[in-house]
Amino acid sequence: MPDSPVIDVAGLSVTYGDFAAVRDLSFTVHRGELYALLGTNGAGKTSTLEVIEGHRKATSGTVRIFGASPQDRQAVRPRMGIMLQESGFSPDLTVEESVALIGSLSGRDDTVDRVLGVVGLTRKASTIVAQLSGGEKRRLDFATAVYGGPELVILDEPTTGLDIQSRDALWAAVDRLREAGSTVVLTTHYLEEAQERADRIGLMHEGRLHREGTVAELTRTLPSVITFGLPPGAPEPPTVGALNGAFHIETFQLQDDLHRLLAWAHDRGVELEKLQAGPTRLDDVFRALDAA
Ligand SMILES: Nc1ncnc2c1ncn2[C@@H]1O[C@H](COP(=O)(O)OP(=O)(O)OP(=O)(O)O)[C@@H](O)[C@H]1O
C-alpha cells in the first residue's frame, strides 16, 4: 500500500468576515516526520492548526487527516493528540483527574501514572489545576497530547513559558514518541528548536506558505556571514565589505573564505578581534521575509 500523507492540506483558505487569514495553503506531512509550521505573528498558523484539529471549518479547500475529514471525530480523535496554545481545563479538577478525563475522551489506552511521569507532574497529581504554575499547566497540556502515544501529535507553541529543564524533558518525550513512529506537527517562535528538530519547515507569511523545505534548503539561498575586527595599524584585509566599524563578509563558501581570511591573518601575524563565523540561521530567513 502506498504511504499516503498523514496530513494533506490542499488549497486551504480561512477567512474571518472579509479578512483572509489563510490563503490557498497547500502542504503535506508524511508518516514519522516532524513538520514545523513557522511564521510571523498573525501569519495564519493557529487558524490552520484549528482546521487540522477539527475545531474550525475551512472556508474553502480540503484538509484530510489519515485520509479522513478532521470533522470525522471517530476516525481521527483516537489517532491525534493535541496540545493547544491555551487549554480549557476545569480549574477545580486535580491534575490526575484532568489527565484521566482527557485520556478517556481520547479513546487511547494508557495510565495516568505513566503520563504524569513522562511530563514530570507525578508530585502534583493531587494538586488542583488552579494552583499550578504557568509552566506546570503547559506540562499538563502536553500530558493530554501524549496520552496513549498517538500516531499524530500537534504541538502549538509547546515550550512557551517552560524553563530549560522542562523544555529538555518535553523534547525528550517527543523524541520517544518519534522513535515509536509518531508524526509531529509543531509551531514555535523559538526558531532554534525548529532548526534543530524539524525534518521540514513550512514558513507562513500573511496567510500563505512562503517557503517550504528542510533547514538546509531554506538557508541555502542566503549567504553565511563572517565578522571580525582588526587591531589599529593592521594591513588591509582581503576583499571584504566593511560594516559598522567591523568587517563583514557575506559568502556562500563559508569554509573556503574563512580559511583564506585565517591564512591571511596568520601570514601577517594579525590577531583578528571578535571573530565570528556561522552558517545562515533560520532567523536570517525570517528576517528576509520582511524584505519579500
Ligand atoms: N476569530 C477571529 N476573528 C477575526 N480575526 C481573527 C480571528 N482569529 C484570528 N484572526 C486573525 O487572523 C490572522 C491569523 O491569526 P492566527 O492566530 O492564525 O495567526 P498565527 O500565525 O497563529 O499568529 P501568532 O504567531 O501571532 O500566534 C491574524 O491577523 C488574526 O488577527
Residue 239 confidence class, pLDDT cut points 50, 70, 90: low
Q: What is the mean pLDDT of the chain?
A: 89
* pLDDT tens-digit series, residues 242-270: 454 568 888 888 888 889 889 999 999 99
Pocket residues: Cβ below 6 A from ligand 1: 16, 19, 21, 39, 41-47
Going by alpha carbons, the residue nearest to atom 26 of ligand 1 is 41
* pLDDT tens-digit series, residues 95-107: 999 999 988 888 8
pTM of the model: 0.85
* pLDDT tens-digit series, residues 173-201: 999 999 999 999 999 988 889 988 999 99
At 2 the pLDDT is 55
pLDDT at 241 over 60: no
d(CA 41, ligand 1 centre) in Å = 8
Residue that wins the pLDDT comparison between 242 and 83: 83
Ligand 1 atom with least separation from CA of 47:
18
Query: Percentage of the chain surpassing pLDDT 70?
Result: 95
Mean per-residue pLDDT, 61-79? 93
d(CA 46, ligand 1 centre) in Å = 7
3-state secondary structure 110-163: CCHHHHHHHHCCHHHCCCEHHHCCHHHHHHHHHHHHHCCCCCEEEEECCCCCCC
pLDDT at 83 over 70: yes
pLDDT at 283 over 60: yes
Ligand 1 atom with least separation from CA of 50:
18
Q: What domains lie within the chain, and their CATH numbers?
A: 7-218 (3.40.50.300), 221-287 (3.30.70)
Task: ipTM value, please give it.
Answer: 0.96
pLDDT at 291 over 80: no
Mean per-residue pLDDT, 72-89? 88
Going by alpha carbons, the residue nearest to atom 24 of ligand 1 is 41
Going by alpha carbons, the residue nearest to atom 25 of ligand 1 is 41
d(CA 155, ligand 1 centre) in Å = 17
- The strands making up 246-251's β-sheet, listed across from edge to edge, are 241-243, 246-251, 224-229, 273-278
* pLDDT tens-digit series, residues 102-145: 888 888 999 999 999 988 899 999 999 999 988 899 999 999 89
